[in-house]
Structure 1
Amino acid sequence: MRITFICDVFYPSSESTSQLFAELLNRLAADGLHCHVIANRLPNLRQRLATASPLDPKITVRRVGIPMLGRSSLLLRAARYLAFASGASMHLLLTRADRLWGGTNPPFTPILLAAVAALRRKPFDIIIHDVYPDGLVAVGFLREGSLVTRGWRWLNGWAYRRANRVVVLGRDMAALMQRRYRVRDSQLVMFPNWSPFDQATPLPLTASSLAQRLDLTKRFVVQYSGNMGLWHDIETLVRAAKLLSADERIHFLMIGEGRRRNAAQQLALDLGITNMTWQDFQNRDALSDSLACSSVALISQRAGLEGVAVPCKLYGILASGRAIVAAVPAESEVAKVVGEEHCGVVVSPSDPLAVAEAIRRLADDDSLTAGMGACSFAAYGEKYSLAAAAARFWRTWGTWGTCHDDR
């Protein structure tokens, strides 16, 4: 069984999507899957590979495009995407595969994949990480009803409806794909994200080497770990930290990178915040330890983005066995999971006072925080582990012949 998977970032990148798929494909390769990955070139690739755990030999990686540090410039990002598209297209036309897979990063991948699959007469599946251009419209980067928005949606709809399967990460995303793009029930596959690591028991804060290094083992650590991009309201978390600055028990740990990080750090500096530490992305081998450097974990998603994306940080948090404070839309997948699993508190996005009050409540009630953390870990073990994701893959794709082909 051989698939070709096209994606923007992949091993040994420390970005969350890269970590998730590297671990899952390793697990699937151990069960016999052969996967050829077409990914963007990474800067400092040799240094990264030297410190990364090796992939299974049944996973091969072809790097195309041009490596670039940072993505803050839209012009540079566009150049990077175009270089990737040209290189990936040529390779997709030539590589041997039983099936083609692609995500939505870069955003044009579904259209590219549909065109190549039509030329090669190969079945293909699309994994929806983020829904474009809908997310860009929601945050004000594109105008609803503009020629670009309408054209992009038409092309996406054409690609989605040609796919054998359209994989969605949440119930809110499934509803959006059906409503906006007329994706059929028979195409949709609900495949929630998973934890990028497995562990038998949660690691306590005091055992985290990161907590020891940062001298946080005796603090109530409120951690945000993950991308700080367009979909996230990092400034609200900074303002919540300011509201809690008089409580010496509480310390905020912000781990990650993204286009909204610099502005949030500048806001923290302007507000004179001293109860907050910033760290870069952690390597996947250190992810379990870094997530353990927390008493409570934060998730942020801006209003209006339900269905556009499902923050994958949720699933690593569940595996770490931590209570969650989720500043997310009430109808989002994260809000549904947190409510169903009784593993945290959901508050409105862009409400620093609500975030601060939820954190203070958990800091004041050890038994409540511990109980929510136990519920997190139970949900991980039952539904969101690597083993659960691998089993879900084989149930869905174990036999290619079960895929519909009524395009």
Structure 2
Amino acid sequence: MKVIIVNRFFAPDQSATSRMATSLATGLAADGFEVEAIASAAMHDDATRQAARSEMVDGVRVTRIGTTRFGRGTLLGRALDYASFHLGAAWRLLRSSSAGDVCVVCTDPPLMSISAMLPLALKRAKLVNWLNDLFPEAAFQAGVMKPRGLAGHLSLALRDASVRAAAANVTPMDAMAQALRLRGAPADRIAVVHHWSEGDALTPMPSRESGLRREWGLEGKFVIGYCGNLGRAHDFGALLDAAAMLKSRADIAFLIVGGGYRLQSVKQEASRLGLSNMMFEPLQPESLLRECLAAPDVHFVSLLPAFETSVVPSKFYGVAAAGRPTLFVGAPDGEIARLIRDNDCGKAFGIAGGLPLAAEIELLAASPDVVARWGANARALFDARFSRGRGLAAWGDIVTACALAPRSVDRPVIAASPSPRTP
């Protein structure tokens, strides 16, 4: 039996889905599983670059397939990239999977589980859906697909079919699991395994020791940072408003590191508002991730309330690992807001929260003891609930349960909370 992980990106790519898929694959390989990863040869941040078609990465055999490379600039180009990966990955599964294999299918590209169903059924391999986002719901909420149209109805019906066909369905948040149950997914095939970060690699670092903070000219300032994808599910209105209210404060700076759909619109609005206190830097390589997360004193995370059950703001887990507080803008009763409130590791605001966000930033700039306490609490929360060791233990249990369950039995019962192990 081998474990096959299907995700559009894999190391050395530095996208969020690549980091999670790579972390899972290499962790399972280190635990003795035979692991193959199927990914695209294209790179998330540069469609002109290609990774090696076949290589070993920390014990994982990586097979990369050729796809179109239109990039992220247009919806049509992205759709064609998605479609070509669907076809190539399905063909690879038909060729490489065997009876009893466990195939973990991610949601990058969206709805990949639909294309994986048939080849896995033909080869008598077992499907495990890793639903890091819920599609097509996220597309409905982003306005790129109509829920009442033919494409919306069909994609939702087929996605639900792939959930019912799976040996297990794994979500990173309770709200997503509940959304699947409401769609009729069998409860004994749903597991909640929270996202994680590399806790050993992201140990807290004092801001003054971050070389990137010095390189970017941020010494002596109180820095609010955003590190990651600026996607359709994220709101930056409150952050821009707060920066505008505080632009007379030379000792407070706003740092955005990353790219994505909303980057240009945020840059344009920052320029229109004359925000000389807001700076932009590209996504940093993994080797600099610890320094990048250490550069801000506090981090900003956002999620539009409409996406609460379909998208997970995974950057929160890296911020917690780095021992930094989070200022969250989104649903006040959402999962991240509750985590922050219950564990005293930051503060949550509603979407129209520019004024209270600015006021809180001013208070924190004058309260290093609060920042330190919130940061320490964030790391304690990470160690207790979101370490890589806990995540891999959960996944090891799920893969083993799926592998051992005979196909004649309806499906295995999945335990969502395995015993923790050393990170």
State TM-score, norm by structure 2.
0.89
Q: 1:59 to 1:148 in 2, by over 3 A?
A: same
In the alignment, what sits opposite 2:181? 178
Flag the 1:392–1:68 CA change in 2: closer, same or farther, 3 A. same
Name the stretch that deviates more: 140-149 or 158-167. Answer: 140-149
Written as runs of structure 1 = structure 2, the 5 A alignment for 1:149-164 is 149-164=152-167
Q: Does the C-alpha gap of structure 1 residues 108 and 183 become closer, same or farther in structure 2, counting only changes over 3 Å?
A: same
Q: CA deviation at 1:49?
A: 6.6
Q: Structure 1 residue aligned with 2:332, among 321, 330, 333?
A: 330
| 1:88–1:377 distance in 2 versus 1, CA, 3 Å | same
Provide the rounded CA distance (Å) in 2 between the counterparts of 1:403 and 1:384.
31
Give the drift of 1:359: 2.0
> Tell me, what secondary structure is at the counterpart of 2:379?
helix
Please report how far the alpha carbon of residue 357 of structure 1 lies from its aligned counterpart in structure 2 after TM superposition: 2.5
Instruction: Report the CA distance shift for 1:160/1:19 in structure 2 as closer, same or farther (over 3 A).
Output: same
SS in 2 for 1:298: strand
Q: Partners of 1:113 and 1:49 in 2: how far apart?
A: 23
Give distance in 2, aligned partners of 1:142 and 1:102: 22
Aligned residue number for residue 36 of structure 1: 36
Counterpart residue identity of residue 133, structure 1: P
Cα distance change of structure 1 residues 83 and 127 upon mapping to structure 2, 3 Å threshold: same
Q: Could you give the per-residue CA deviations for residues 234-264 of structure 1, whole angstroms, max 9, x where no partner exists?
A: 3432222112212222111101110110111
- SS of 1:217 mapped into structure 2: coil
Shift of 1:330: 2.5
Distance across 2 between alignment mates of 1:8 and 1:49 = 12
Equivalence for 2:212: 210
> For 1:289-335, what per-residue CA distance to the aligned partner results, in whole angstroms no more than 9, with x for missing partners?
11000100110101211111111101100111011101121333212
1:403 & 1:278 partners in 2: Cα distance? 53
Whichever residue aligns with residue 84 of structure 2, its letter is A
Residue of 105, 110, 133 corresponding to 2:136: 133
Residue 101 of structure 1 corresponds to which residue in structure 2?
A: 104
Q: 1:77 and 2:78 equivalent? A: yes
SS of match in other structure, 2:14: coil
CA contact (8 A) 1:305 1:329 kept: no
- How far residue 47 of structure 1 moved from its aligned partner, in angstroms, is 7.5
Give the Cα separation in 2 of the matches to 1:345 and 1:403.
47
Question: Which residue of structure 1 aligns with residue 20 of structure 2?
Answer: 20
Moved more, 64-73 or 217-226: 64-73
Q: Per-residue CA shift, 1:181-201, capped at 9, x if unaligned?
A: 211210111000001352484
2:382 is the alignment partner of 1:380? yes
Report deviation, 1:125: 0.4
Is there any run of 5+ residues in structure 1 with no aligned partner, and where? none
**Aligned equivalents of 2:216 and 2:406: distance in 1?**
50
Identical aligned residues as a percent: 28
Cα deviation 1:248-281 (Å, max 9, x = unaligned): 2211110111011011101111111101111111
- Code of the aligned partner of 2:394: R
Local SS of the residue matching 1:186: helix
Change (3 A) 1:348 1:46: closer
CA–CA separation in structure 2 for the residues paired with 1:110 and 1:9: 16
User: Residues 47 and 71 of structure 2 are in contact (CA less than 8 Å); yes or no, is this contact kept in structure 1?
Assistant: no
Q: Which amino acid aligns with 1:153?
A: L
Is 2:402 the partner of 1:367? no
Distance change >3 Å, CA 402–CA 371, structure 1 → 2: farther
What is residue 406 of structure 1 aligned with on the other side?
410
Runs of 4+ in 1 over 6 A off after TM superposition: 44-50
Preserved CA contact (<8 Å) 1:223 1:254: yes
CA positional deviation for 1:347: 0.6
Deviations 1:2-48 (A, max 9, x none): 11111111111111121222233223222212211111122579978
Q: Aligned pair 1:198/2:200, yes or no?
A: yes
2:269 matches 1:273: no
**Distance apart, 1:67 and its partner CA:** 5.4
Preserved CA contact (<8 Å) 1:19 1:284: no
Paired amino acid for 1:79: L
Task: In structure 2, give the amino acid aligned to 1:172.
Answer: A
Q: Structure 2, unaligned stretches of length 5 or more? A: 412-423
- Aligned partner letter, 2:159: N
Task: Write the distance in 1 (CA, Å) between the matches of 2:47 and 2:406.
Answer: 37
Mapped partners of 1:346, 1:334: distance in 2: 9
Q: CA RMSD in A?
A: 2.3
Report the TM-score, using the length of structure 1 for normalisation: 0.93
Q: Verify the 8 A CA contact 2:224 2:255 in the aligned structure 1.
A: yes
Aligned letter for 2:85? F
Residues of 2 paired with 1:38 and 1:27: CA distance?
Answer: 16
Offset of 1:353 from its aligned partner? 2.1
Q: In structure 1, how many angstroms separate the alpha carbons of the residues matched to 2:355 and 2:66?
A: 44
- 1:35-73: CA deviations, max 9, x gaps? 1111112257997879xxx821x2011111325363021
Distance 2:169 2:207 in 1: 39
Query: How far has the Cα of 1:136 moved from its partner?
Result: 1.9
Report 1:344-359 matches (<5 A): 344-359=346-361
State the partner residue of 1:122: 125
Q: Which residue of 2 aligns with 1:263?
A: 265
Query: What is the letter of the counterpart of residue 170 of structure 1?
Result: M
| Cα distance between partner residues in 1 of 2:348 and 2:136 | 27
Task: Determine the structure 1 residue equivalent to 2:115.
Answer: 112
**For the residues of structure 2 that align with 1:32 and 1:159, how far apart are their CA atoms?**
28
Q: How many residues align?
A: 403
Q: SS of the counterpart of 2:108?
A: coil
Match of 1:189? 191
Distance in 2 of aligned mates of 1:402 and 1:359: 52
